Amino acid sequence: MTVPLTNSSTSHSSHVDVLIVGAGPMGLMSALWMAEFGLKVRIIDKRGTRALNGRADGFHVRSLEIWDSFGLGHVFATHGTRVSQWDLWAPDGKGGLMRQKQDGTIGTDSSRFIPGTMHQGNIEAALIDAIKRRAGIEVERGVIPTRIVTDNTKMHDHTAHAVVVDLRRVNKEELGTWTVNAHRVQDGIARAERGHIDANVVPNDGSDTVPTISGEPGSTETVHAKYVIGADGGQSWVRRQLGFAMEGATYNAKWGVIDAVLDTGFPDFKKHRTILSPAGTVLSITRENNMTRLYIQLPGSDMDQYEDGILTAQHLMAAAAKVLEPFRLSYSYCDCWTIYKVGQRVSDHFDYGQRIFLGGDAVHTHTPKGGQGMNVSMQDAYNLGWKVAGVAKQQLNPAILPTYESERRPIAELLIEIDTVLAGNLSQKDRKTTLDANAAYDKLRAFNSGANICYEPSLVVVSLPPGKPVTSLPLGMRLPPFPIFNLASVLPVDLQELCPSDGLWRLLVFGGDVTNPTQLSRVNNLGMALSPLLSKFRSLEQSGPSFLVPLLLISYEFGYIDLGYKHIIIASSLVERCSPSCIR
C-alpha cells in the first residue's frame, strides 16, 4: 500500500520523534517509554479529560510487573484492590446456588504480585503524572488528526521525519467527553452525584477532570514525525486511514456492566466470582470504595430494549438479581453503568512500513470478561515502546521493528480464540454444563496473567541449537521473579528489581560458585572481555556511558563467604563493572 505525500494547508508545522494518537493506557504506556529514552514526543487525544469512570480496571500480574519496572508499583499497592481468590457458583439442583469450585486468582503462582483492580482514572492519572515528571510532556486534549501521509522517499532513513500528520483542535461542541451517570438511591429515589471521578493518586489532578481544549479551537498544524503510534481505540482513525481491515466476527449477546455499592445476602463478594444459573450469568469483582463490578448477561428475549439511553441501572440490577436468586440483591450507590456488544476481531496489519504502528483496541477487540483489554494493550505498548525508542535513539537496528507484529499479533489471535471460548461457555444459551465454564477458565488461566507468554525465535529471541538442554530460563519469556541478595548491602532484592525500564540494557552474568578459584578466574576473564563491549554499545547520536549494564549473579551457601572475601569479589575485574548479587 502506498500513502502519497501531498501539500498541507495548515498554519504551522513542528517536528517530533514520535506522535502518539490516543491517551488511553496503550498511548500513555507508549509515551512513558519515549519519556524514559528522552525522545521528543507528543500525545494527542480527542477527549477533553482523562477517563472519569468505568472502563478497564483489571490488573493482571504481568502488567503489575511492568508498572513496577517503571517505578509505579507503589501506586497500585496503595490505591488498588487486590483479589486473591476466584469462586465458581452454579445451581445446587434444589433451586438454589452453591460454590462448586474455588482457586487462586490467575497469576498468583507465577509472580510476586497479586492481581486486582484500580479505577482507570487513577491508572491514567498515574501514567500522565509519570510522563510529565520524566519529560515535561502533557497530553494535548481536544486535538484530532485530519490527515496522515508518508514521504516514501524517506521511509528507509530512520533518522528522517517520514510521516506527516495534520492536526486540528476541535471546537467546543465537538469535544469528546465522558458520560457520568453516578447516582445514589435512597427511599427508592435516585439522586445524581459527581461520582468517584477525582484521582487520589497524584496531586493537582483536578485540572484533567474538566473538559479542556489544548490551544485555540479550530486551529491547525502539521506535525512531521519519525514514527506515529495509533492508540486510538476500536474505531481507530489511524487504522481506517491506512485501510487496514478488522477480521473476525461480532458476538451477538449483550452484557451490562455496573459499578455499585451492593446490598446483598450473597457471600464471597470480596472475591472474583463467576455465577451461573438458569437465568443467566453474572461475573463480579471487587472494586475500590466498597464497590463491586458486575458483568451481567442480558436476557435474549429482551434484546431489543437494551439500548443506550433506555436501559437503566435498575434494569441491570434486576437482571442480576434473577441470576442470584434466592439471594437478595440491590444497590445504594452506582458509580457508572453501560452495556456492550463487542466484536472479536484482529487487524490484518499492525504497522505500515515500520513507521506507523497500531496497538491495543486499534488492532484487537473482544469482550471484557477475561479482563484482558487494558492489560494486553499496555503489554503491546511495552513491547513496541522500547523498540521504537531504541531505533529512534540509534541504539538499535531498524530491522528489529517488524518483531513487534510478529510477537504481538499471535498474542492477539490467541486472546480472541480464548475470549470466543469463554464468551460461549459463559452464555446461558451456549453453555451445556458447569464443566464447560471450568474448561474455559482453565484455558484462560494459562494465558491471562501475561507471565507465561513465550515469543518465538526471531531477531530478538535466540533459538537453541539442536540437542542443547532446555534451561530454567525459557528463551522468549519474561525474566521471572527470583529472590537474591545484594552483596554490598546484604539486603534481599528480587531479580526483576535489578532490571528497571529506564532505557538501559542489562547483561546478566550467571557466575556460578566463585568460591572455586577456577570459576572466579573464568568470571574475571569475562570481565576483562566485557570492557570493549561496553564501549561499543553507546548511542550513535551521543557520547557518554554505555547503555549496556552488566549484572553479576553468583551462587553459594549463604553465610559461607565472609566480608573479606566479599571485598575480593567486588574488586575483581568483572564486578568493577557489575552490580554484584548472589542467588541462594
- Give 523-569 pLDDT, tens digit per residue: 888 888 888 888 777 755 555 677 888 888 888 765 555 434 443 33
pLDDT reported for residue 362: 97
What's the rounded mean pLDDT across residues 429-438?
60
Q: How confident is the model at residue 573 (pLDDT cuts 50, 70, 90)?
A: very low
Report the distance separating Cα 26 and Cα 184, nearest Å: 33
Asked if 554 and 512 count as a contact pair (C-beta separation under 8 A), the reply is yes
State the CATH architecture for 13-82+116-178+196-246+344-420: 3-Layer(bba) Sandwich (3.50)
pLDDT reported for residue 431: 54
Query: What's the mean per-residue pLDDT of the chain?
Result: 85
Q: How confident is the model at residue 470 (pLDDT cuts 50, 70, 90)?
A: low
- Residue ranges of E strands in 170-268: 183-186, 189-192, 220-230, 246-250, 255-264
- Answer whether residue 582 shows pLDDT above 80: no
pLDDT reported for residue 304: 55
CATH code for residues 483-583? 3.40.30.20
Please report, for the chain, the start and end positions of each structural domain, with discontinuous segments joined by +: 13-82+116-178+196-246+344-420, 483-583
pLDDT reported for residue 576: 40
Report the distance separating Cα 364 and Cα 360, nearest Å: 6
Beta bridge partner(s), residue 549: 506
pLDDT reported for residue 570: 35
- Label residue 420 exposed, middle or buried (CB < 10 Å: 0-12, 13-18, 19+): middle
Element (H, E) at 444: helix 434-448
Chain centroid, CA 21 distance in Å? 16
- Pick the range with the lowest mean pLDDT from 62-76, 141-155, 258-272, 302-316: 302-316
Pick from 481, 492, 504, 502: which is nearest to 551 by CA?
504
Name the amino acid, one letter, at 106.
I
Global pTM value: 0.91
**Active centre residues (catalytic):** 57, 287, 295, 368
Buried b (16+ CB within 10 A) or exposed e, 31-62: bbbbbbbebbbbbbbbbbbbbbbbbbbbbbbb
Q: How would you write 453-482 as a 3-class SS string?
A: CCCCCCCCCCCCCCCCCCCCCCCCCCCCCC
- Answer whether residue 159 shows pLDDT above 80: yes
Which residues neighbour 226 within 8 Å (Cβ) at sequence distance 6 or greater?
16, 17, 18, 158, 159, 160, 161, 162, 163, 355, 392
Chain centroid, CA 333 distance in Å? 29
- Of 82-91, 398-407, 525-534, highest mean pLDDT: 398-407
pLDDT reported for residue 516: 84
Report the distance separating Cα 133 and Cα 116, nearest Å: 26
